[in-house]
Chains A and B, each alone.
Chain A
Amino acid sequence: MSNILNTATVEEYEYELDPNTHVEVTKGPISSTSDEPKVDPVVTLDKVCAPDYIDLGDTFTIDYILTNVDVGAAGPNFNNVTVTDTIFTMTTYATITGSTNFTSIDTGTGVGTVDLTSVGGTLDPGESITASVTFTSIGVPVNPSQFVTTAIALFYDVPIIMTTNDTCGSIIRNGDLTISKVMLTPSPVYVGQTVTYQITITNTGNVDSEIEAGDFTDYPPLTDLTDIALVAPPASISFDGTKIYNTVDITLAGGASLVITFTAKVI
Protein backbone atom coordinates (compact mmCIF):
# COMPACT_ATOMS: atom_id res chain seq x y z
CA MET A 1 0.00 0.00 0.00
CA SER A 2 1.15 3.52 -0.77
CA ASN A 3 -0.23 7.02 -0.46
CA ILE A 4 -1.26 9.60 -3.08
CA LEU A 5 0.19 12.99 -2.15
CA ASN A 6 -1.23 16.02 -3.98
CA THR A 7 -0.17 19.58 -3.11
CA ALA A 8 -1.72 22.94 -4.14
CA THR A 9 0.46 26.05 -3.78
CA VAL A 10 0.09 29.88 -4.06
CA GLU A 11 3.58 31.21 -4.43
CA GLU A 12 2.82 34.89 -3.71
CA TYR A 13 -0.12 37.20 -3.11
CA GLU A 14 -0.63 40.93 -2.24
CA TYR A 15 -3.24 43.13 -0.64
CA GLU A 16 -3.53 46.84 0.22
CA LEU A 17 -2.96 47.59 3.89
CA ASP A 18 -3.81 51.35 4.02
CA PRO A 19 -6.36 52.65 1.58
CA ASN A 20 -5.09 56.20 2.11
CA THR A 21 -1.44 55.51 1.54
CA HIS A 22 -2.01 52.54 -0.70
CA VAL A 23 0.60 50.56 1.18
CA GLU A 24 0.61 46.97 -0.05
CA VAL A 25 1.65 43.78 1.68
CA THR A 26 3.16 40.81 -0.17
CA LYS A 27 2.92 37.31 1.29
CA GLY A 28 3.38 33.75 0.29
CA PRO A 29 3.80 31.03 -0.50
CA ILE A 30 0.99 29.11 0.97
CA SER A 31 0.16 25.44 0.20
CA SER A 32 -1.95 22.55 1.22
CA THR A 33 -1.30 18.81 0.60
CA SER A 34 -3.81 16.04 0.27
CA ASP A 35 -2.47 12.72 1.61
CA GLU A 36 -4.74 9.85 0.70
CA PRO A 37 -3.85 6.12 0.96
CA LYS A 38 -3.68 4.19 -2.33
CA VAL A 39 -4.60 0.51 -2.50
CA ASP A 40 -2.44 -1.34 -5.07
CA PRO A 41 -3.98 -4.20 -7.01
CA VAL A 42 -2.58 -7.62 -6.17
CA VAL A 43 -2.25 -10.60 -8.51
CA THR A 44 -0.95 -14.07 -7.70
CA LEU A 45 0.23 -17.12 -9.62
CA ASP A 46 0.22 -20.47 -7.90
CA LYS A 47 1.94 -23.10 -10.06
CA VAL A 48 1.01 -26.61 -8.91
CA CYS A 49 2.90 -29.61 -10.35
CA ALA A 50 1.93 -33.23 -9.87
CA PRO A 51 3.22 -35.79 -9.32
CA ASP A 52 6.55 -34.92 -7.78
CA TYR A 53 8.35 -37.87 -9.38
CA ILE A 54 7.68 -39.47 -12.73
CA ASP A 55 9.18 -42.06 -15.05
CA LEU A 56 9.76 -41.78 -18.75
CA GLY A 57 6.43 -42.14 -20.52
CA ASP A 58 4.48 -40.97 -17.52
CA THR A 59 1.99 -38.12 -17.59
CA PHE A 60 2.30 -35.06 -15.38
CA THR A 61 0.09 -32.01 -14.96
CA ILE A 62 0.77 -28.39 -14.19
CA ASP A 63 -2.00 -26.11 -12.89
CA TYR A 64 -1.54 -22.35 -13.14
CA ILE A 65 -3.92 -20.76 -10.62
CA LEU A 66 -4.18 -17.08 -11.55
CA THR A 67 -5.92 -14.71 -9.15
CA ASN A 68 -6.84 -11.03 -9.16
CA VAL A 69 -6.91 -10.52 -5.42
CA ASP A 70 -9.78 -8.48 -4.04
CA VAL A 71 -8.03 -5.73 -2.09
CA GLY A 72 -11.24 -4.01 -1.10
CA ALA A 73 -11.39 -1.37 -3.76
CA ALA A 74 -12.32 -1.07 -7.39
CA GLY A 75 -9.31 -2.69 -9.02
CA PRO A 76 -8.24 -3.43 -12.56
CA ASN A 77 -10.21 -5.79 -14.73
CA PHE A 78 -7.57 -7.78 -16.57
CA ASN A 79 -8.66 -8.63 -20.09
CA ASN A 80 -5.50 -10.43 -21.11
CA VAL A 81 -3.46 -12.88 -19.05
CA THR A 82 -0.49 -14.87 -20.27
CA VAL A 83 1.71 -17.49 -18.70
CA THR A 84 5.29 -17.88 -19.90
CA ASP A 85 6.93 -21.17 -18.90
CA THR A 86 10.10 -22.77 -20.29
CA ILE A 87 8.54 -26.18 -20.04
CA PHE A 88 6.29 -25.33 -23.01
CA THR A 89 9.42 -25.19 -25.17
CA MET A 90 10.91 -28.48 -23.92
CA THR A 91 9.22 -30.50 -26.63
CA THR A 92 12.17 -32.85 -26.91
CA TYR A 93 11.54 -34.07 -23.40
CA ALA A 94 7.81 -33.56 -22.83
CA THR A 95 4.89 -33.64 -25.19
CA ILE A 96 1.82 -31.52 -24.44
CA THR A 97 -1.08 -33.95 -24.48
CA GLY A 98 -3.84 -31.66 -23.25
CA SER A 99 -4.68 -28.25 -21.85
CA THR A 100 -7.52 -26.43 -20.14
CA ASN A 101 -8.32 -22.69 -20.21
CA PHE A 102 -5.57 -21.88 -22.66
CA THR A 103 -6.46 -20.39 -26.03
CA SER A 104 -2.98 -21.07 -27.31
CA ILE A 105 0.42 -22.32 -26.21
CA ASP A 106 3.43 -21.31 -28.28
CA THR A 107 6.06 -24.03 -27.93
CA GLY A 108 8.59 -21.75 -29.60
CA THR A 109 8.34 -18.77 -27.26
CA GLY A 110 6.92 -20.63 -24.28
CA VAL A 111 3.98 -18.24 -24.00
CA GLY A 112 0.52 -19.53 -23.19
CA THR A 113 -2.46 -17.25 -23.52
CA VAL A 114 -5.13 -17.84 -20.89
CA ASP A 115 -8.72 -18.24 -22.05
CA LEU A 116 -10.79 -15.87 -19.88
CA THR A 117 -14.15 -16.93 -21.31
CA SER A 118 -15.10 -18.84 -18.20
CA VAL A 119 -14.76 -15.66 -16.10
CA GLY A 120 -16.67 -13.44 -18.47
CA GLY A 121 -13.72 -12.22 -20.52
CA THR A 122 -12.02 -10.29 -17.74
CA LEU A 123 -10.38 -11.32 -14.54
CA ASP A 124 -11.97 -8.98 -12.07
CA PRO A 125 -10.91 -8.34 -8.49
CA GLY A 126 -11.68 -11.40 -6.42
CA GLU A 127 -11.75 -13.71 -9.43
CA SER A 128 -9.47 -16.65 -10.08
CA ILE A 129 -8.97 -18.97 -13.00
CA THR A 130 -7.00 -22.21 -13.28
CA ALA A 131 -5.30 -23.00 -16.56
CA SER A 132 -3.83 -26.47 -16.85
CA VAL A 133 -1.46 -28.34 -19.13
CA THR A 134 -0.89 -32.08 -19.27
CA PHE A 135 2.43 -33.48 -20.49
CA THR A 136 3.88 -36.88 -21.28
CA SER A 137 7.57 -37.23 -20.55
CA ILE A 138 9.58 -38.60 -23.44
CA GLY A 139 13.12 -37.80 -22.33
CA VAL A 140 15.30 -36.79 -19.44
CA PRO A 141 15.92 -33.04 -19.78
CA VAL A 142 19.43 -31.73 -19.39
CA ASN A 143 18.93 -28.00 -18.91
CA PRO A 144 16.97 -27.50 -16.76
CA SER A 145 18.07 -30.81 -15.36
CA GLN A 146 14.51 -31.77 -14.64
CA PHE A 147 11.08 -30.35 -15.43
CA VAL A 148 11.41 -27.77 -12.66
CA THR A 149 10.80 -24.38 -14.25
CA THR A 150 9.61 -20.92 -13.31
CA ALA A 151 6.36 -19.65 -14.79
CA ILE A 152 5.79 -15.91 -15.21
CA ALA A 153 2.22 -14.61 -15.38
CA LEU A 154 1.37 -11.24 -16.91
CA PHE A 155 -1.94 -9.55 -16.24
CA TYR A 156 -2.96 -6.81 -18.66
CA ASP A 157 -5.44 -3.98 -18.16
CA VAL A 158 -3.53 -1.44 -20.20
CA PRO A 159 -1.88 0.69 -19.08
CA ILE A 160 -1.75 -1.50 -15.99
CA ILE A 161 0.49 -4.53 -16.49
CA MET A 162 1.24 -6.69 -13.51
CA THR A 163 3.54 -9.67 -13.26
CA THR A 164 4.19 -12.47 -10.82
CA ASN A 165 5.88 -15.87 -10.93
CA ASP A 166 6.08 -19.26 -9.26
CA THR A 167 8.31 -22.34 -9.59
CA CYS A 168 7.71 -26.08 -9.44
CA GLY A 169 8.14 -29.19 -11.56
CA SER A 170 8.07 -32.95 -11.76
CA ILE A 171 11.31 -34.84 -11.49
CA ILE A 172 12.11 -37.79 -13.70
CA ARG A 173 13.49 -40.82 -11.97
CA ASN A 174 14.43 -43.43 -14.49
CA GLY A 175 16.86 -46.30 -14.31
CA ASP A 176 16.22 -48.05 -17.59
CA LEU A 177 18.89 -50.56 -18.57
CA THR A 178 19.88 -51.64 -22.02
CA ILE A 179 21.74 -54.83 -22.79
CA SER A 180 23.71 -55.73 -25.86
CA LYS A 181 25.63 -58.84 -26.69
CA VAL A 182 28.05 -58.91 -29.54
CA MET A 183 30.67 -61.29 -30.80
CA LEU A 184 33.91 -59.42 -31.19
CA THR A 185 35.21 -62.10 -33.53
CA PRO A 186 34.27 -61.37 -37.14
CA SER A 187 31.46 -63.53 -38.46
CA PRO A 188 31.22 -66.21 -39.75
CA VAL A 189 33.09 -68.33 -37.28
CA TYR A 190 34.50 -71.78 -37.79
CA VAL A 191 34.53 -74.97 -35.83
CA GLY A 192 37.59 -75.04 -33.64
CA GLN A 193 37.89 -71.27 -33.55
CA THR A 194 38.06 -69.41 -30.25
CA VAL A 195 35.62 -66.53 -30.27
CA THR A 196 35.04 -63.60 -27.93
CA TYR A 197 31.67 -62.37 -26.74
CA GLN A 198 31.05 -59.06 -25.03
CA ILE A 199 27.93 -58.20 -23.05
CA THR A 200 27.29 -54.57 -22.12
CA ILE A 201 24.59 -53.47 -19.69
CA THR A 202 24.09 -49.70 -19.56
CA ASN A 203 21.92 -47.56 -17.32
CA THR A 204 20.49 -44.97 -19.70
CA GLY A 205 18.55 -43.22 -16.95
CA ASN A 206 19.47 -40.89 -14.12
CA VAL A 207 18.96 -42.95 -10.97
CA ASP A 208 20.54 -46.09 -9.58
CA SER A 209 19.24 -49.36 -10.92
CA GLU A 210 19.79 -52.64 -9.15
CA ILE A 211 20.18 -56.12 -10.57
CA GLU A 212 19.70 -58.57 -7.75
CA ALA A 213 21.95 -61.60 -7.45
CA GLY A 214 21.10 -64.13 -10.13
CA ASP A 215 18.92 -61.73 -12.11
CA PHE A 216 21.50 -61.40 -14.86
CA THR A 217 21.98 -64.64 -16.76
CA ASP A 218 23.61 -65.69 -19.96
CA TYR A 219 23.31 -69.29 -21.01
CA PRO A 220 25.94 -69.95 -23.67
CA PRO A 221 24.76 -72.71 -26.00
CA LEU A 222 26.95 -75.55 -24.82
CA THR A 223 26.08 -77.56 -27.91
CA ASP A 224 28.01 -75.02 -29.97
CA LEU A 225 30.50 -73.56 -27.49
CA THR A 226 32.99 -75.05 -25.06
CA ASP A 227 35.98 -73.93 -22.98
CA ILE A 228 34.03 -70.87 -21.82
CA ALA A 229 36.23 -68.49 -19.87
CA LEU A 230 35.44 -65.06 -18.48
CA VAL A 231 38.01 -62.42 -19.35
CA ALA A 232 38.94 -60.14 -16.43
CA PRO A 233 35.43 -60.47 -15.05
CA PRO A 234 33.95 -58.05 -12.54
CA ALA A 235 33.99 -59.58 -9.05
CA SER A 236 30.24 -59.96 -9.15
CA ILE A 237 30.19 -62.09 -12.33
CA SER A 238 30.80 -65.83 -12.46
CA PHE A 239 30.34 -68.88 -14.71
CA ASP A 240 29.04 -72.03 -13.09
CA GLY A 241 29.49 -74.35 -16.04
CA THR A 242 26.02 -73.68 -17.32
CA LYS A 243 25.43 -69.98 -17.13
CA ILE A 244 27.17 -66.68 -16.63
CA TYR A 245 25.42 -64.78 -13.85
CA ASN A 246 25.83 -62.16 -11.13
CA THR A 247 26.63 -63.68 -7.77
CA VAL A 248 25.74 -60.54 -5.79
CA ASP A 249 23.50 -57.52 -6.25
CA ILE A 250 24.81 -55.08 -8.83
CA THR A 251 23.96 -51.38 -8.63
CA LEU A 252 24.38 -49.39 -11.82
CA ALA A 253 24.29 -45.62 -11.44
CA GLY A 254 22.73 -43.46 -14.11
CA GLY A 255 24.94 -43.49 -17.18
CA ALA A 256 27.11 -46.33 -15.89
CA SER A 257 27.85 -49.55 -17.78
CA LEU A 258 28.83 -53.09 -16.87
CA VAL A 259 30.92 -54.96 -19.42
CA ILE A 260 31.29 -58.74 -19.34
CA THR A 261 33.65 -60.48 -21.75
CA PHE A 262 34.13 -64.18 -22.27
CA THR A 263 35.82 -66.44 -24.74
CA ALA A 264 34.62 -69.78 -26.01
CA LYS A 265 35.67 -72.39 -28.53
CA VAL A 266 33.28 -73.25 -31.33
CA ILE A 267 32.50 -76.97 -31.54
Chain B
Amino acid sequence: MKEIINTATATYQYTIGTQSITKSIGTRNVVVIDPCHPEDPLLRLTTMTACARCCQPLWLVAAVEGVSDKTTHFVFTADFDKKYRPLPEIFVNDVPIVGDLRRGVSLCVGAGQTLRITFGAIFPCDYSPCCICKPLCEKVTALTRICYIPCSIQRLPKYVYSNPVSFKVL
Protein backbone atom coordinates (compact mmCIF):
# COMPACT_ATOMS: atom_id res chain seq x y z
CA MET B 1 0.00 0.00 0.00
CA LYS B 2 1.37 3.39 -0.96
CA GLU B 3 2.37 5.83 1.78
CA ILE B 4 3.05 9.53 2.06
CA ILE B 5 6.18 9.93 4.14
CA ASN B 6 6.76 13.47 5.28
CA THR B 7 9.47 14.73 7.60
CA ALA B 8 10.15 18.06 9.26
CA THR B 9 13.37 19.04 10.97
CA ALA B 10 14.69 21.97 12.97
CA THR B 11 18.01 23.00 14.44
CA TYR B 12 18.00 25.39 17.38
CA GLN B 13 20.19 27.00 20.00
CA TYR B 14 19.92 28.17 23.56
CA THR B 15 22.44 29.21 26.17
CA ILE B 16 23.44 27.86 29.56
CA GLY B 17 25.45 30.53 31.30
CA THR B 18 28.09 31.42 28.74
CA GLN B 19 27.73 28.14 26.86
CA SER B 20 25.67 27.90 23.69
CA ILE B 21 23.88 24.61 23.12
CA THR B 22 22.89 23.49 19.62
CA LYS B 23 20.44 20.68 19.11
CA SER B 24 18.40 19.19 16.29
CA ILE B 25 14.98 17.60 16.21
CA GLY B 26 12.92 15.89 13.58
CA THR B 27 9.58 14.25 13.08
CA ARG B 28 8.28 11.82 10.51
CA ASN B 29 4.70 11.45 9.44
CA VAL B 30 3.46 8.46 7.50
CA VAL B 31 0.01 8.36 5.97
CA VAL B 32 -1.42 5.53 3.93
CA ILE B 33 -2.91 6.28 0.55
CA ASP B 34 -5.87 4.05 -0.11
CA PRO B 35 -6.03 3.49 -3.88
CA CYS B 36 -9.76 2.98 -3.56
CA HIS B 37 -12.02 5.89 -2.94
CA PRO B 38 -15.14 4.34 -1.45
CA GLU B 39 -17.50 7.05 -2.52
CA ASP B 40 -20.93 5.64 -3.13
CA PRO B 41 -22.59 6.37 -6.46
CA LEU B 42 -25.46 8.77 -6.08
CA LEU B 43 -28.89 7.42 -6.89
CA ARG B 44 -31.92 9.61 -7.45
CA LEU B 45 -35.34 8.43 -8.49
CA THR B 46 -38.04 10.52 -10.11
CA THR B 47 -41.35 9.75 -11.73
CA MET B 48 -42.63 11.45 -14.83
CA THR B 49 -46.16 11.75 -13.51
CA ALA B 50 -47.62 12.22 -10.09
CA CYS B 51 -50.33 9.65 -10.66
CA ALA B 52 -50.84 6.42 -12.55
CA ARG B 53 -53.69 4.61 -14.14
CA CYS B 54 -54.47 1.00 -13.56
CA CYS B 55 -53.16 -1.24 -16.36
CA GLN B 56 -51.29 1.71 -17.82
CA PRO B 57 -47.52 1.85 -17.58
CA LEU B 58 -45.95 4.40 -15.27
CA TRP B 59 -42.52 5.58 -16.26
CA LEU B 60 -39.82 6.38 -13.78
CA VAL B 61 -36.24 7.58 -14.16
CA ALA B 62 -33.34 6.64 -11.93
CA ALA B 63 -30.15 8.65 -12.23
CA VAL B 64 -26.94 7.00 -11.11
CA GLU B 65 -24.02 9.36 -10.74
CA GLY B 66 -20.54 7.90 -10.53
CA VAL B 67 -18.72 10.16 -8.08
CA SER B 68 -15.76 7.82 -7.69
CA ASP B 69 -12.69 8.30 -9.81
CA LYS B 70 -13.17 4.80 -11.22
CA THR B 71 -15.88 2.99 -13.11
CA THR B 72 -18.39 1.44 -10.76
CA HIS B 73 -20.11 -1.82 -11.66
CA PHE B 74 -23.41 -2.36 -9.95
CA VAL B 75 -26.71 -4.20 -10.01
CA PHE B 76 -29.77 -2.00 -10.28
CA THR B 77 -33.00 -3.19 -8.69
CA ALA B 78 -36.45 -1.64 -8.41
CA ASP B 79 -39.06 -2.44 -5.76
CA PHE B 80 -42.72 -1.52 -5.73
CA ASP B 81 -45.36 -2.16 -3.16
CA LYS B 82 -48.97 -3.18 -3.70
CA LYS B 83 -48.41 -5.65 -6.56
CA TYR B 84 -46.95 -3.05 -8.87
CA ARG B 85 -44.52 -4.72 -11.24
CA PRO B 86 -41.71 -3.31 -13.32
CA LEU B 87 -41.96 -3.77 -17.06
CA PRO B 88 -39.24 -5.54 -19.02
CA GLU B 89 -38.64 -2.45 -21.09
CA ILE B 90 -35.63 -0.60 -19.72
CA PHE B 91 -33.72 2.25 -21.29
CA VAL B 92 -30.21 3.18 -20.25
CA ASN B 93 -29.38 6.62 -21.55
CA ASP B 94 -32.26 6.10 -23.97
CA VAL B 95 -30.79 2.83 -25.25
CA PRO B 96 -33.16 -0.08 -24.73
CA ILE B 97 -31.97 -3.11 -22.84
CA VAL B 98 -33.74 -6.17 -21.53
CA GLY B 99 -33.78 -7.20 -17.94
CA ASP B 100 -35.79 -7.96 -14.87
CA LEU B 101 -35.61 -5.10 -12.45
CA ARG B 102 -36.99 -7.24 -9.67
CA ARG B 103 -33.99 -9.57 -9.92
CA GLY B 104 -31.59 -6.83 -10.85
CA VAL B 105 -29.86 -5.54 -13.96
CA SER B 106 -26.08 -5.33 -14.18
CA LEU B 107 -24.82 -1.95 -15.29
CA CYS B 108 -21.80 0.27 -14.86
CA VAL B 109 -21.17 3.98 -14.60
CA GLY B 110 -17.94 5.72 -15.41
CA ALA B 111 -16.09 8.15 -13.22
CA GLY B 112 -17.99 11.41 -13.11
CA GLN B 113 -20.68 10.13 -15.46
CA THR B 114 -24.40 9.96 -14.86
CA LEU B 115 -26.43 7.00 -16.01
CA ARG B 116 -30.10 7.62 -16.79
CA ILE B 117 -32.19 4.48 -16.32
CA THR B 118 -35.74 4.80 -17.56
CA PHE B 119 -38.08 2.01 -16.67
CA GLY B 120 -41.79 1.40 -16.52
CA ALA B 121 -44.10 -0.30 -14.09
CA ILE B 122 -47.70 -1.30 -14.19
CA PHE B 123 -50.43 -2.46 -11.90
CA PRO B 124 -51.42 -5.64 -13.76
CA CYS B 125 -54.79 -6.86 -14.86
CA ASP B 126 -56.72 -8.77 -12.28
CA TYR B 127 -57.46 -11.52 -14.83
CA SER B 128 -61.16 -10.74 -14.85
CA PRO B 129 -62.81 -11.47 -18.20
CA CYS B 130 -62.56 -7.88 -19.26
CA CYS B 131 -59.38 -7.27 -17.48
CA ILE B 132 -60.97 -4.45 -15.70
CA CYS B 133 -58.76 -2.73 -13.28
CA LYS B 134 -60.17 -1.22 -10.22
CA PRO B 135 -58.77 2.04 -9.05
CA LEU B 136 -56.64 1.62 -5.98
CA CYS B 137 -57.18 5.15 -4.88
CA GLU B 138 -54.23 4.90 -2.69
CA LYS B 139 -50.59 5.74 -2.69
CA VAL B 140 -47.98 3.41 -4.16
CA THR B 141 -44.30 3.73 -3.33
CA ALA B 142 -41.36 2.79 -5.49
CA LEU B 143 -37.79 2.45 -4.37
CA THR B 144 -34.64 1.54 -6.26
CA ARG B 145 -31.30 0.39 -5.04
CA ILE B 146 -27.94 -0.46 -6.44
CA CYS B 147 -25.57 -3.04 -5.10
CA TYR B 148 -21.87 -2.72 -5.79
CA ILE B 149 -18.58 -3.97 -4.43
CA PRO B 150 -16.52 -1.01 -3.29
CA CYS B 151 -12.82 -0.95 -3.87
CA SER B 152 -11.82 -1.77 -0.34
CA ILE B 153 -9.80 -4.35 1.48
CA GLN B 154 -12.87 -6.25 2.60
CA ARG B 155 -14.60 -6.08 -0.79
CA LEU B 156 -17.99 -6.60 0.79
CA PRO B 157 -21.10 -5.72 -1.25
CA LYS B 158 -22.57 -2.38 -0.44
CA TYR B 159 -26.09 -1.13 -1.03
CA VAL B 160 -27.10 2.38 -2.01
CA TYR B 161 -30.77 3.26 -1.91
CA SER B 162 -32.60 5.93 -3.82
CA ASN B 163 -35.13 8.29 -2.45
CA PRO B 164 -38.60 6.70 -2.35
CA VAL B 165 -41.09 7.92 -4.92
CA SER B 166 -44.81 7.82 -4.28
CA PHE B 167 -47.69 8.23 -6.70
CA LYS B 168 -51.40 7.73 -6.70
CA VAL B 169 -53.14 5.16 -8.82
CA LEU B 170 -56.38 6.40 -10.25
Contact = CB atoms under 8 A, between A and B. Distances in A.
Given A189-B32, A191-B35, A191-B37, A210 B6 contact: no
Contacts of B17: 51-53, 173
B13 A209 contact: yes
Contact of B27 (A181, A188, A224, A225): A181
Interface size class of B (residues with CB under 8 A): 20 to 34
Nearest to B9: A217
Contact of A219 (B2, B7, B13, B34): B7
A253 to B, nearest CB: 11
Given A174-B14, A205-B14, A208-B14, A189 B7 contact: no
Q: Is the interface of A mostly helix, strand, loop or mixed?
A: strand
A210 B6 CA distance: 23
B25 interface: yes
B126 interface: no
A178 interface: yes
B34 A190 contact: yes
Contacts of B13: 175, 209-210, 212
A193 B13 CA distance: 38
B15 interface: yes
A188 B31 contact: yes
Contacts of A192: 37, 69
B37 A183 contact: no
B8 A179 contact: yes
B100 to A, nearest CB: 35
A197 B33 contact: no
A148 interface: no
Given A53-B16, A173-B17, A188 B11 contact: no
A220 interface: yes
A190 B33 contact: yes
Contact of B14 (A175, A181, A225): A175
A207 B16 CA distance: 9
B137 interface: no
A210 B20 CA distance: 11
A210 B5 contact: no
A21 to B, nearest CB: 97
Contacts of B97: none
A224 B23 contact: no
A55 interface: yes
B26 interface: yes
Interface of B: 2, 4-17, 19, 21, 23, 25-29, 31-37, 69
Interface of A: 51-55, 173-183, 187-193, 195, 197, 199, 201, 205, 207-212, 215-221, 224-225, 244, 252, 266
25 contacts: A51-B17, A174-B14, A175-B21, A177-B10, A179-B10, A181-B7, A181-B28, A189-B34, A190-B34, A190-B35, A191-B37, A193-B37, A197-B29, A201-B10, A208-B14, A209-B12, A209-B13, A209-B14, A212-B13, A215-B12, A216-B10, A216-B11, A218-B7, A219-B6, A225-B4
